[in-house]
Structure 1
Amino acid sequence: MAKFQNDHDAIRAAMQRYAALLAGGHEAVAAEMLRERVLFSHLLHRHRADEDMETGRTLPGAPLAAALAADMQALLAEYSAHVRAWPPARIPGEWDSYAKAVLKLQQRMRMRLAWEERELFPFLSAA
């Protein structure tokens, strides 16, 4: 359980760092933003793989496992749509709109993490 909580904390920290970069303006932080985007993507995908494996082991066929998987697919689709909608060339010219879109997606991720901690973590702890 500590690993999953540490993952969640690392994902939240990455989102916080990215949000802080948004306040700096694109010219000041473009390289750092790219690094943080890549780091976040890596953290999320690694966590998702580990969590899927553990959920499949401890909750095979459970409605909660299916709900978690469906929600993660929806979240990943939202994330992919965001990346497609905001290619690097578009971001500087629409900085404020980009920042709002990022913060909205981050809020969705925070809700997901809280849901996992509230609904999934107790099952994993008991297993």
Structure 2
Amino acid sequence: MLAKMIEDHDTIRGIAATLRGFLNNDGAPIGPLFASARWTLTRHLLRHLATENLIFRDNASTARHATKPDAPDPFEQRYRQHIDSWTPERIDSHWPRYCRELGSILNTLDQRMAFEEREIYPRLTLGATALAAA
């Protein structure tokens, strides 16, 4: 299961790198390739976060949310709000602002994944809930 979680991170990193490539463009490239990368990240990331939530709930003393294992994940909330608020039209109209916001989210995501791999994953015990989610 941990190998799958790290594999997810690698996939998410690859998608994030694709998105960063679009952010380096001068104009808003809201086309099929950008939209596909954006929604592919969303699909992979939200599935991964849901699996993590199950694992972390089973490992409350180890996970980030040790004091409140059922508390909402602030990063997930931030990402969902980002996706909800940035429509293709809004992205086109405010491309530089969108680039800054998405860049910040991707940087936070990179830091989060590195922290999890270094500090959390090595300490996890996979219980029945996590194994059922696999």
Gaps of 5+ in 2: 128-134
- Pick which of 40-49 and 18-27 moved more: 18-27
Distance 1:71 1:103 in 2: 26
Counterpart AA for 2:3: A
Give the conservation status (yes or no) of the 8 Å contact 2:56–2:65: no
Aligned match of 1:17: 18
TM alignment of 1:1-127, pairs within 5 A: 1-24=2-25, 25-27=27-29, 29-57=30-58, 59=59, 61-62=60-61, 64=63, 66-67=65-66, 73-124=73-124
Are the aligned partners of 1:56 and 1:65 in contact in 2 as well (CA < 8 Å)?
no
Letter in 2 for 1:55: F
How large is the RMSD of aligned CA atoms in angstroms? 2.6
**Aligned equivalents of 2:125, 2:41: Cα separation in 1:** 26
Q: Is the 8 A contact 1:14 1:40 kept in 2?
A: yes
Matching residue's letter, 1:26: A
Q: Deviations over 1:26-61 (max 9, x none)?
A: 24x52111111111111112212322333344x2x4
Q: Distance in 1 between the 2:14 and 2:107 partners?
A: 13
Alignment length (residue pairs): 124
Q: Are 1:15 and 1:106, in contact at CA under 8 Å, matched by a contact in 2?
A: yes
Change in Cα spacing, 1:12 to 1:79, as seen in structure 2 (3 Å) is same
Relative to structure 1, the CA distance from residue 84 to residue 126 in structure 2 (aligned partners, 3 Å threshold; closer, same or farther) is closer
With the length of structure 2 as denominator, give the TM-score of the two structures.
0.77
d(CA) in 2 for partners of 1:119, 1:71: 20
CA contact (8 A) 1:19 1:103 kept: yes
Any stretches of 5+ residues in structure 1 without a counterpart?
none
The CA deviation at 1:71 is 8.3
- The answer to whether the Cα contact below 8 Å between 2:55 and 2:126 also exists between their aligned partners in 1 is no
Matched residue type, 1:35: S
